[in-house]
Amino acid sequence: MYLVTGAGGQLGGALCEEFDEDGVVCLTRAEWDVELPPPAALGAPDVILHAAAWTNVDGAEDDPQGAAAVNVGGTANVAALGVPLVVYSTDYVFDGQKSEPYLESDGPNPRSAYGRTKLHGEAAAGEQAWIIRSSWLFGPTGNNFVRTMLRLGEERDEVAVVDDQRGSPTYVGHLAAATRQVLLLPYGVYHVAAAGDVTWAGFAEAIFEEAGLPTRVRRISTAELGRPAPRPEYSVLRSEKGAPELPHWREGLRETIAAIRAGTATE
């Protein structure tokens, strides 16, 4: 039996769908706040898919302890169960100074409080863990860039989007499916992100194109946007350890827009 934490999130929801037929217990934050010990009636999971996290990157700059309580303390609480677990981590553990894809053997050097808590969370996962680093997650539910752009695109003629951060936007459905394959590999760190790479501005243009919206994208710099948390300029992830290869981000984008259109997405 699988157990998913953070089941109310976008990846947690996709994992619950992916593992539905295998037998999965899905716990939202209301059902298990991972800052606390697990609830008594947890069952006996064989594998935990730990998708609960503090994901507010800018908010973590103001409250790094709050972010650490979830991303480090919460992961330690999950690992304390002594069950093999998958911990999802991020491209934001890297500083973004490279100009070619980050491999598992590259040294992390997070620039943000969020990135630091996620890196410490990797260490808190213990020995029986698969650490899956992915990037720029999106899907038909929850808070993500695709949904934000679709909303803004309905409201405005033009949207300003940063053009000096490059990464691989990854569809949560593809990441959930690839998790199955990672479970066949030895414990360790794996980079699992969509094929292809793009800037946020290029991604926004693709979103409007796929959605048939006439909205224009004005390309701006990270400095112009002025967000509190620094982000890597370049954070494309690739695996040198045989991690599963994911479809191109544009395929995930098409699936996401189709799911939203079909009304299959829930909040």
Ligand X SMILES: NC(=O)c1ccc[n+]([C@@H]2O[C@H](COP(=O)([O-])OP(=O)(O)OC[C@H]3O[C@@H](n4cnc5c(N)ncnc54)[C@H](OP(=O)(O)O)[C@@H]3O)[C@@H](O)[C@H]2O)c1
State which H helix or E strand residue 255 sits in. helix 249-262
Q: How many residues bind ligand X (CB under 6 A)?
A: 26
- CB-nearer residue toward ligand X: 70 or 246: 70
Which span sits near ligand X by CB under 6 A: 51-59, 232-240, 246-254, 259-267?
51-59
User: Which of 16, 26, 49, 51 touches ligand X (CB under 6 A)?
Assistant: 51
Which span sits near ligand X by CB under 6 A: 31-39, 102-110, 219-227, 245-253?
31-39
Q: Does 244 bind ligand X (CB under 6 A)?
A: no
Adjacent-strand bridge partners of 27? 5
Question: Closest Cα to residue 127, out of 182, 172, 189?
Answer: 189
**Rounded Cα gap, residues 217 and 161, in angstroms:** 7
- CB-nearer residue toward ligand X: 23 or 37: 37
The CA-to-CA distance between both ends of the chain, in Å, stands at 26
Asked if 234 is an active-site residue, the reply is: no
Q: Considering the complex, what minimum distance in angstroms separates the CB of residue 248 from ligand X?
A: 17
Question: Closest Cα to residue 55, out of 69, 71, 33?
Answer: 71
Task: Name the active-site residue from 2, 88, 92, 114.
Answer: 114
| Residues engaged in binding ligand X (CB under 6 A) | 5-6, 8-12, 29, 33-35, 51-55, 70, 74, 88, 90, 118, 134-137, 142
- List, by residue number, the catalytic residues: 114
